[in-house]
């Protein structure tokens, strides 16, 4: 993979992560290298897609759900799940909410160890697929505590505090 070293951004909490996401997208576009349509934002589950699109639009970043994207270039940030990102490529990819208990999800009380192991493997695989959708820059962020899979890959990431960007 070419491009910049992947960034891992510690935002401190979820609200600051929301602010960071909007600000970072605007900064990337202001650099003049990419437009909004060159950016993909991927989250673990469908309910997060709608919330992320709403948050971005309210922050002045034009965004649409990936399921509405027909492959024709458009000037909006595309937001979708990790699974829906498969086969796509964006100049810049942001993966917010990669925090403990979310990626992968925690084991449910009534879930067998075997079923959880399968679910966990699938979620980790989908996360890594989403990471590889970035052509030039990958930015991963979390609000409070990072996911265990980020801790396993920490040596491959440039770690920053959101306040320092």
User: Above 80 in pLDDT, residue 1?
Assistant: no
Name the token pair of 141.
């962020």
Q: Reduced to 3 states, what is the DSSP secondary structure of residue 101?
A: coil
pLDDT value of residue 3 = 65
Instruction: Tell me the whole-structure pTM to 2 decimals.
Output: 0.92
Residue 2 has pLDDT above 70, yes or no: no
pLDDT tens sequence across 138-155: 999 999 889 988 888 877
- Strand 90-95 relative to strand 77-81: parallel, antiparallel, unpaired? unpaired
Q: What is the mean pLDDT of residues 112-140?
A: 95
The answer, yes or no, to whether residue 78 has pLDDT greater than 80, is yes
Q: Any bridge partners for residue 78, and if so which?
A: 40, 64
Q: What homologous superfamily is domain 7-164 in, according to CATH?
A: P-loop containing nucleotide triphosphate hydrolases (3.40.50.300)
Sequence ranges of the domains in the chain = 7-164
* Number of Cβ within a 10 Å radius of residue 84: 21
Contacts 24+ apart (CB under 8 A), 107-114: none
* pLDDT of 58 higher than 90: yes
Residue with token string 């673990």: 44
């Amino acid at each position: 993979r070419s491009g910049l070293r992947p960034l891992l951004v510690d935002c401190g909490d979820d609200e600051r992560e929301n602010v960071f996401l909007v600000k970072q997208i605007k900064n990337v576009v202001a650099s003049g290298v990419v437009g909004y349509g060159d950016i993909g934002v991927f989250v673990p589950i469908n309910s997060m897609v709608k919330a992320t699109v709403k948050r971005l639009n309210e922050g002045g970043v034009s965004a649409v759900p990936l399921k509405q994207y027909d492959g024709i270039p458009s000037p909006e940030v595309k937001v979708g799940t990790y699974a829906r990102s498969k086969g796509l490529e964006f100049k810049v990819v942001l993966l917010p909410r990669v925090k403990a208990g979310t990626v992968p999800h925690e084991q449910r009380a009534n879930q067998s160890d075997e079923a959880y192991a399968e679910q966990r493997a699938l979620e980790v695989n989908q996360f890594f697929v989403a990471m590889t959708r970035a052509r030039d820059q990958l930015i991963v962020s979390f609000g409070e505590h990072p996911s265990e899979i980020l801790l396993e890959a920490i040596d491959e990431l440039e770690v920053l505090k959101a306040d320092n960007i």
